[in-house]
Structures are given as structure tokens and as C-alpha cells.
Amino acid sequence: MKYKEGTNEYWVLARLAEESEYMSEPKSHQMVYFTNGSIICHARCISNLPKEYPDTRFYSANMDYLKGIDHTFTMKNEVEAQREIEKELKGKVLLFFPYFSKGHDNMDWSAGIQVLSAPEGFSNASRYRVLPLLSAKDGLTEEDLQDGLLTPNTYLHVQRSLSRTKDDMPPFILWKRHSGDIVLYGPITDMRYTPSGGYGYSANPLKRILLSDTILRKSIPTSKGIIFLPEDEMDRLLVALASAPDETVTSIEPESDTKEDKSQETIEQLSKAEIKGIDPFPDSPLGEADFLKCFFSHVHKSGYVYTEKDLVNFHVAMKSSTLVILSGMSGTGKSKIVSLYGESLGLPSEEIRMIPVRPSWTDDTDILGYLDTTTMLYRAADTGLVDTLRAASENPDKLYLICFDEMNLARVEHYFSQFLSVLENPVGKRFLQLYNPELEARVYNASEYPSRIELGKNLLFVGTVNLDESTFHFSDKVLDRANVIRFHRCSFAELKKCSLEAPPKQEALPAVSTTTYLSFENPEKRAISLTDQEIAFLSDLDALLDETKTDGGIGFRILRQIDDYLKNVPAGAVLTHQEAFDLQIAQRVLTKLRGSREQLQDLLDSSHKDNGKYLPDLLGQYKDLSDFTDCRAILSHKGSELIEYGYIL
């Protein structure tokens, strides 16, 4: 099978055909039939094709390549198979590359077939137009797009699986903002393409339309940098642009809306214009102080009691660490605080992935999936993790929060090992491997599950743990990479007081984009900003820990991560620098303090304090740095445990 000579790949939208719609091959009177052990059905094209393509309405589809389809259909008769396929594909549309099949008038599907949810208002009569959808992911800004459309003979250096001929020139170009809004630019008056420069478009005069949510709900966006708009809306958009004055920016809403269009700014004023109250460039980011207020309020309104210092500690750890672990006794709300944090970020449920850990997990195939080499299909695990990682890779402007609940029911360093290594790499070089890249060309659903997935800065990883007889303890490999937080318990009186308050009305929480969240971070990464006294304390502490021969010392990674945390404590926050330093020693260093009485008694047993190695005495020597309240509490607990059991786990 091959593409039409001289053409490139081109995405086509289709739906399952009805028997009454087609008459072609010998078996085409059946919607579903079996051949050579495969299940074949027919689909009806519902999007525009390049003019150089034949006017083909129907395509043969090999259902073996479809994820979620029961591959035991061939054990049933064709009538049963047809009934079940209709059920599987109800309310779905199909995206694929058309190929010519030698000896047939219609085309077969390639292995690039994907199943998408049908949009609002979809029916068998619906028809769509494919259009390019650009975003910051293409390495452009919205201003770059405007300049490219207004400057003759320029190229945007953007590649798409679209027609490359002027006969198929799109009437519009669409731009997706960080806020999620989609803006339409046009009308397009010229188009060009070169392999080196990609696509180039011209629009002079240039006009702009902010698409309403109603129109977008009836459209079909994809992860391929294209969007399918319904033909009836296309006609209305063309009419709106044609009737607008030259060199203006206008706005269109669906026919049922009654908002008045007041914008009449010229294209020279585009960078300062506002369309119906929306800035033409991405929204001004939410300030970190405003977000923290929102976080505190949402936690309280949800009926949970945490100190603001604990919530700030959690937030700073989340933005400065690749992994955060919440530790504590069962029933203290560790999992809930993760959900509340995601909700405070304005994340919808599909961007918060809670994964209950199973004791049987032994490697990353249990959480990711595996390549079935007998069928050459990638089988994603039922955790849904791979789908979330793919969504995050395709939507870098959106945050995704992934929580492993009861993380230590299985050995973290086994099932999470690839993540621990990959997340150490700099952004842009963090690639998670699902299977051998050399096999990717042979994997039928490789377009859905590529061999590698990039882990971007829009991914936040957190785990919750209980420490009891049913769980595993963490290795140093995990502790070296994680902030291990144990929240301070509130009193029962505080909990009762909160429960008696009338539940306030929950308000919509503002969405925080990746760009906004990253703006919360201190951009200085290279230079260490710890004071000389802090460095001296860490050196003395490391020397004492090194003498225990337990490998519990302070490595370069931990020192840099302590520094990153301290640099990221928001100015004016309830958490002071001295308190933050105390927390970092407790969360990054003392978590590794474990071993036998012989190894640790000089550090923790007060009866051995005369040897000069007693850790509480070291804290006292550096009282100017912090009062070390949390560290002293941990050392006291570990000292008691050592005296009673002779060992610390």
C-alpha cells in the first residue's frame, strides 16, 4: 500500500459506515467481514480531502489495529462482530492516513488509526474541515504568527500532515493560547511550502476571531497540530470575516449569544487590543501569593485542618523537587491534600491521576504497560499512567499531577526505577522508554504509543506512604531524590471547630498554566546561595554522619536540592528561612539516619554525648541558623527508638 504518488501524509476523519451507504467490493454488502484472520469493516469519510485525491467516500478498515477492540471477534460470526463493533464505536470518530490499495477503488487504513470521541452535536450527517492549529509548542509566539501572515514570502517553519498545494489552501489559521482559548486568523490569501521552511501563509488584510466555547465544543481538536471544524460553522466564520471592515479585529459568538461586538481596533493596535475583555496574548499569570491564598482557602473550605506552614512547605517542595513523598499515619489526609492541591491549581479531573499502588508490582511494565510482540501492539497498563504522560507531552501548557497512593506497598526503586533516573536529566532530555525504538516502525499503534515519551516540566509527581508492617522502607536511591514530608497533626479541638462551621459555597478556582506555575520558581539554578554558616553546618553534619558508616551522609545532589528549596520559599510567606532550613535537614538528611545501636548511639544516645558527636549538641552550636524544632523532635524520636529496639529502620 502507498500514498498517491507525489503526495504527503494527510489526516482524514471518518465514522463507521452504515450498510445502506455503500456498494463496492464483493463483500461490501456486509459492514463487517473476515479475511485472512483479520476483521475488516467500512468507514465513511466526513472531512475534506485534497483535490488531487480521488473522490473516495469509503475506506476499508483493519480492526486489528484498533485499541480496545475485542480481538476474539473472529471466533464469532460476522453478524455478532458487526453488532459489537457498532457498540464499541458508538459516539466515536476515526482519525487515520488514507493509503491507496492496489487493485481497489477505495483505500485501506494505515497503522496510524486513532479513535476519538465525537464532539457535541455530532450526527451521521456531520461534515468537517481540517485546519492547521498552531501553538507555542511549535516554537512560535502569537506575535510571530501575526508577523508571518503580514510579511510576504515568509515561512513559519512549521510542519503538518496537510496538503501542500494552493488548491487546498485553508481559509483560516488557528492559534491556541496558553489559556486554552483558540483564535482564528484570516482570511488566508496565499500559501506556500518548502521542505526546509515548512508552511507559509499570507493574510492581508489580517483579521482575527476569538472562537466561542460553543463552537469549540462542536469541533474536534487533535494532538497532531490540526483541528476539525464543522462545515456549518466554517460558513458562518467566512461570512463574519467577509463582512468585517478591512484591517480590523472582530469577534464572533454563536448565533444564540447576544453579546455586542465592540472591538474595532486596527491591526497596528493588535498587541494592545482586547477582544471582549480577553487580551490577545496569553493571560497575565496568577501571582504565587494569590495562589497560596487560594490553596489555604480551598483546604479550609473542604473541611481539612492543616497549618499554613505545612501547606507552604508542601507547595515549595512540589515546585522545587522532582518527587515529593507524604509520610504519616493512616487517615491523616495525605491523599486528600494532593487532590486539594490539584484542585487549587484549577486542574480538571483528567489532569489529576491518582494511582493506587499494588503489592505485586515488580517493574515499570506494571505501571506503564508492555509491547505484545505476537500482535505488535503496545498494551498500556490499566493504571492509565501512559495516557496521562502522553497527554502531558502533547499539552505542555497544561499541568498534570500524578500521585502514587500508598507508594511503598511495593518496592518503589523497582517499579519506579526508570522515572528516578530519567527525572534527574535536564528538561528536554527526559525521555521515558516504553519499548525498543528499533521496533517502533513495526508497532501498529505506535502513533498512539510511541517508543519514547518526553517528561516535561508540566508533570508533578507525588507519593503517599504509610510506615507499618505491610509496607517496604525506602532505599537511599529514593530518599536522595525526594522531599519526605510529615505534616504536623492538628488538635481534635481544631478539627471539631472546623466541622461545626457552615460549609461555604465553593467557588470556581482559577486555572494555573504551566507557564504560570513555572513563574513561581526561582530561575537561578546554577549558583548555590547557601550562606557560609549553612555550608559549615552541613559540612559538620556530613562529617558526623559519615563516621557511622551507614551511607547516610549529604551528597552533592542533596545539597543542591536543599539550596533549590530555600531559594523557592516565597518572599513574605509564613514559612521563614530559618524554619525552611530546619525542615530541609529533617526532610532530606535525617530521613536517611538509620542503622544499629553500635552505628548510631554516639549520635543519638544522650548517655554518649561526651564523645562530641551527639547531634542535638551540633544543632545547639548553630542556633543562629535555626532553632531546629523539627530536627530535634525527629532526633528525640529516633533516639528513643534506638534505645528501645537497638535499631532504627
Angle at 140 between CA 139 and CA 144, to 5 degrees: 155
What confidence score (pLDDT) does residue 33 get? Answer: 64
Closest CA to 389 of 449, 305, 323, 462: 449
Confidence of residue 248 (pLDDT cuts 50, 70, 90): very low
Where helices occur in 501-607 by DSSP H, the ranges are 514-519, 532-546, 556-567, 577-584, 597-604
Q: Which of 32-41, 104-113, 313-322, 488-497 has the highest average model confidence (pLDDT)? A: 313-322
In this predicted structure, the answer to whether residue 398 has a pLDDT above a threshold of 60 is: yes
Q: How many CB atoms lie within 10 A of CB 265?
A: 18
Backbone φ and ψ for 61, nearest 5 degrees, come out as -125, 125
Q: What average pLDDT does this structure show over 464-477?
A: 81
pLDDT per residue as tens digits for the range 153-203: 888 878 787 888 888 899 989 999 877 788 888 889 999 888 776 888 998
Q: What average pLDDT does this structure show over 564-585?
A: 93
Confidence of residue 56 (pLDDT cuts 50, 70, 90): low
Q: How far, CA to CA in Å, does 371 sit from each of 63, 297, 418, 434, 537?
A: 18, 45, 17, 8, 50
Q: Which of 84-93, 213-222, 237-246 has the highest average model confidence (pLDDT)? A: 213-222
Of 217-221, 395-399, 468-472, give the lowest mean pLDDT range.
468-472
245 vs 203, residue with greater confidence: 203
What confidence score (pLDDT) does residue 487 get? Answer: 87
Which residues have a Cβ under 8 Å from the Cβ of 383 and sit 6 or more positions away? Answer: 355, 367, 368
In this predicted structure, the answer to whether residue 205 has a pLDDT above a threshold of 80 is: yes
3-state secondary structure of 229: strand
Q: What average pLDDT does this structure show over 251-270?
A: 36
Q: In the 8-state DSSP scheme, what is residue 70?
A: -
In this predicted structure, the answer to whether residue 103 has a pLDDT above a threshold of 50 is: no
- Amino acid type, 256: S
Which helix or strand (DSSP H or E) is residue 359 part of?
A: none
Closest CA to 459 of 380, 525, 404, 383: 404
In this predicted structure, the answer to whether residue 271 has a pLDDT above a threshold of 50 is: no
Q: What average pLDDT does this structure show over 247-262?
A: 40
In this predicted structure, the answer to whether residue 274 has a pLDDT above a threshold of 50 is: no
What confidence score (pLDDT) does residue 2 get? Answer: 40
Q: What is the mean pLDDT of the chain?
A: 81
In this predicted structure, the answer to whether residue 276 has a pLDDT above a threshold of 50 is: no
**Three cell numbers at 314?**
508542601
Confidence of residue 497 (pLDDT cuts 50, 70, 90): confident
Closest CA to 639 of 540, 626, 471, 608: 608
In this predicted structure, the answer to whether residue 570 has a pLDDT above a threshold of 50 is: yes
Of 69-83, 200-214, 421-435, give the lowest mean pLDDT range.
69-83
Q: What percent of the chain has pLDDT over 90?
A: 36
CA 400 to chain CA centroid, nearest Å: 4
**Three cell numbers at 224?**
497532531
Q: How far, CA to CA in Å, does 537 sit from each of 316, 540, 543, 559, 592?
A: 22, 5, 10, 12, 17
In this predicted structure, the answer to whether residue 508 has a pLDDT above a threshold of 60 is: no
What confidence score (pLDDT) does residue 211 get? Answer: 82
- Amino acid type, 26: P
In this predicted structure, the answer to whether residue 305 has a pLDDT above a threshold of 70 is: yes
Confidence of residue 35 (pLDDT cuts 50, 70, 90): low
Q: What percent of the chain has pLDDT over 70?
A: 80
What confidence score (pLDDT) does residue 255 get? Answer: 39
Residue 69's Cβ-side half-sphere holds a number of Cα atoms within 13 Å equal to 27
Q: What average pLDDT does this structure show over 265-269?
A: 31
Give yes or no for a contact between 117 and 8, defined as CB atoms under 8 angstroms apart.
Answer: no
In this predicted structure, the answer to whether residue 270 has a pLDDT above a threshold of 70 is: no
Closest CA to 511 of 274, 176, 175, 179: 179
What confidence score (pLDDT) does residue 256 get? Answer: 40
362 vs 523, residue with greater confidence: 362
Largest CA distance in the chain: 96
Give the span between the Cα atoms of 162 and 3, in whole angstroms.
Answer: 13
Q: How many CB atoms lie within 10 A of CB 549?
A: 10
Closest CA to 641 of 583, 608, 633: 633
Of 217-226, 249-258, 601-610, give the lowest mean pLDDT range.
249-258
Which residues have a Cβ under 8 Å from the Cβ of 56 and sit 6 or more positions away? Answer: 45, 49, 98, 105, 106, 107
- Amino acid type, 312: V
Q: What average pLDDT does this structure show over 587-596?
A: 90
Beta bridge partners of 461: 402
